[in-house]
Amino acid sequence: MRVGIVVNPDAGLGGRLGFKGSDGRAVEAREAGAQDRAGPRMTQCIVKFDELLNSSLNRANINPEIYTWEGRMGGDWLASLTYNSIGKTPNSTNALNTNDLVQQLIDNDVDVILYAGGDGTTRDIVNALGDKKIPLIGVPGGVKMHSGCFATTPNAAAEVLFSFAIGDLMSSITEVMDLDEEIYLAGEWKVRMYGEALTPASPRFMQGSKQQVERASEEEIIEGLATHIADLIEADSNLMVVWGSGGTLRMIGDLLNQELTLLGIDIQHDDKIYADLNEEQLIEILQQHTGNKILLLSPMGGQGFLIGRGNLQLSPAVLRLIGISSVLGVATPAKLTGLSNVRIDTGDSDLDQEFRERKFVKMLQGYRTTRVIRVSDV
């Protein structure tokens, strides 16, 4: 079996800085102190994959051949795993380089492509593949990850690749999604489908594509959610509210006369809104507050991610300052219908485990109506 590796070294750089994506802003992000995200997460995946290859689960003793470029688009992140070099990463990279690498992987007859990046990377790879039917497994490493090609975590991506390699998984068609940037810049939010891709079928380890939920019929429910949150604020005048991203929370904010950032993190305290904060700004404000805090998060419809998709500003350091007991999910019953659990991917395995050990998170689904929903164990 032949495995192609693609890493977008600039993916995810802007997440903790509050950028809505990293496309075209890599230099700006690095100058602001952003650290690599996609590459280290590929390394985490590869280390886990190597463990599986050397475990008793590898009954057929498979030994996949790895193909990629040397440097930041591949070889730099493969730990001690041996690979076949088919080129070198240039000093600066863009979508054309992704296209070139994918074309070379096609020429080398790879059976599957493991890649690290976000939705933009997925689109670039799918465009490069054209009509070639090569399955994709995405290691979540970007800011925007709405597509169904992504595994839930780097370790989950390793599990999927291993299971696919030993023949335990078949391929299925999934949607390639991305945020419509032009509509977003006009103040609206819309995720649209750009195409389809093959990916190993694993409901446990693959996240699925983002569900687009109709909003108009749920107006009364949204009003009830807003009233409940208003009551919480009224009951504690010193309460610091950290607002997560997404359309549900923005609609609630509108009803409370608060202009919230659609794809950012805001803080409300003492009748003030601190808008579109990055990780450093969040830490500074949270450290100065000695009263109660609450973090409002709406799960991503269809995927169930509460943390780790579209809110990378909520770094492990930020989450520890807030406290995991202060996390409150907010969702309409329609959004919760298809969710048996919520997923957490903080980027810190110890913190992920703390969430899993709690087993459940509270989910506000109406006025004074709260349910608990299980935290996924993967």
**Dihedral through CA 245, CA 249, CA 250, CA 252, nearest 10?**
-160
Give the per-residue SS3 of 308-375.
Answer: CCCCCCCCHHHHHHHCHHHEEEECCHHHHHCCCEEEECCCCHHHHHHHHHHCEEEEEEECCEEEEEEE
Report pLDDT for 217: 47
Range 75-82 average pLDDT: 91
* Residue 264 pLDDT exceeds 60: yes
Dihedral sign for Cα 296, 145, 149, 346, please: negative
In angstroms, the CA 192 to CA 20 distance is 16
Report pLDDT for 114: 98
Distance from the first to the final alpha carbon of the chain: 26
Residue with tokens 């991610």: 305
In the three-class reduction of DSSP (H, G, I as helix; E, B as strand; rest coil), residue 134 is classed as: coil
C-alpha 9 chain-centroid distance: 16
Of the ranges 81-85, 148-152, 218-222, the best mean pLDDT one: 81-85
Report pLDDT for 214: 39
Q: Domain boundaries in the chain?
A: 2-200, 216-375
Q: Regarding beta strands 272-274 and 266-269, do their DSSP bridges make them parallel or antiparallel, or are they unpaired? A: antiparallel
**Residues 316-341: pLDDT tens digits?**
999 999 999 999 999 887 787 777 88
Which uninterrupted H or E stretch holds 29? helix 26-31
In angstroms, the CA 326 to CA 78 distance is 37
The whole-model pTM stands at 0.62
230 — pLDDT class (breaks 50, 70, 90)? very high
What's the CA angle centered on 60, arms 58 and 62, to 5 degrees?
A: 75
**Residues 106-151: pLDDT tens digits?**
999 999 999 999 888 999 999 999 889 999 999 988 777 778 888 9
Range 71-79 average pLDDT: 94
Q: Enter the tokens of residue 262.
A: 């659609």
In the three-class reduction of DSSP (H, G, I as helix; E, B as strand; rest coil), residue 277 is classed as: coil
**Residues 169-207: pLDDT tens digits?**
888 888 887 666 565 545 455 666 778 889 998 877 786
Report pLDDT for 212: 45
* Residue 298 pLDDT exceeds 80: yes
Range 283-310 average pLDDT: 91
Average pLDDT, the chain: 86
Q: Taking Cα atoms as reference points, which of 155, 171, 177 lies closest to residue 52? A: 155
Side chain identity at residue 357, one-letter code:
E
Report pLDDT for 25: 60
2-200 is a CATH 3.40.50 domain: yes
In whole angstroms, how far apart are CA 8 and each of 53, 120, 125, 141, 207? 25, 10, 10, 9, 20
**Residues 48-67: pLDDT tens digits?**
999 999 998 988 889 999 99
Any idea which of 96-100, 243-247, 331-335 has the lowest mean pLDDT?
331-335
For residues 240 and 294, is the Cβ–Cβ distance under 8 A? yes
> Residue 274, exposed/middle/buried by CB under 10 A (0-12, 13-18, 19+)?
middle
CB atoms within 10 A of CB 278: 21
Side chain identity at residue 362, one-letter code:
K
In angstroms, the CA 145 to CA 120 distance is 9
* Residue 152 pLDDT exceeds 90: no
> What percent of the chain is predicted at pLDDT more than 70?
86
Report pLDDT for 19: 52
- Residue 238 gets the label, from left (phi > 0), alpha (psi -120 to 50) or beta, of alpha
In angstroms, the CA 258 to CA 359 distance is 32
In whole angstroms, how far apart are CA 268 and each of 171, 206, 316? 45, 35, 20
Range 90-99 average pLDDT: 91
Q: Enter the tokens of residue 225.
A: 């959610």
Return the half-sphere exposure (C-beta side, CA atoms, 13 A cut-off) of residue 59. 4
CB atoms within 10 A of CB 290: 8
